[in-house]
Amino acid sequence: MESTVPLSHYLVLSTTLFVIGVLGVLVRRNAIVVFMCIEIMLNAVNISLIAFDRYMNLHTGQVFSFMVMCVAAAEVSVGLAIIISIFRNKPTVNLDEFNIMKW
């Protein structure tokens, strides 16, 4: 393996992306943006899966990342559908305004 970038770089990249996603979910109040941050988290996972595969000469992680992508797509469609159906009753995507029940 003639790779000059060590595994740890990929791991730091993926952890950084993951933390950016987590912070985004916790800080942002727009449902769509929160949703995008969750996608960032999933893609951070994909990066580390592929990195592990490359450095340990495995294949399972690639299969795993296919599954993650596929599931992420399914989640996107369900999530957008939920947001759209909410928007019909209450034209906002600000999470602070969904407070009929206390969080």
Contacting residues toward other proteins, per CB under 8 A: 11-12, 15-16, 18-23, 25, 31, 34-35, 38, 41-42, 44-45, 48-49, 52, 56, 58, 60-61, 63-64, 66-71, 73-86, 88-90, 95, 98, 100-103
Q: CB of 81: closest distance to other proteins in angstroms?
A: 7
Q: CB of 80: closest distance to other proteins in angstroms?
A: 6
Place of tokens 């996107």: 76
3-state secondary structure of 58: coil
How far apart, in whole angstroms, are the C-alpha atoms of residue 77 and residue 86?
14
Q: Of 4 and 89, which has the nearer Cβ to other proteins?
A: 89
Q: CB of 45: closest distance to other proteins in angstroms?
A: 4
Q: CB of 30: closest distance to other proteins in angstroms?
A: 11
Alpha-carbon distances of 12 from 15, 16, 17, 48, 84, rounded to whole Å = 5, 6, 8, 9, 36
How far apart, in whole angstroms, are the C-alpha atoms of residue 86 and residue 83?
5
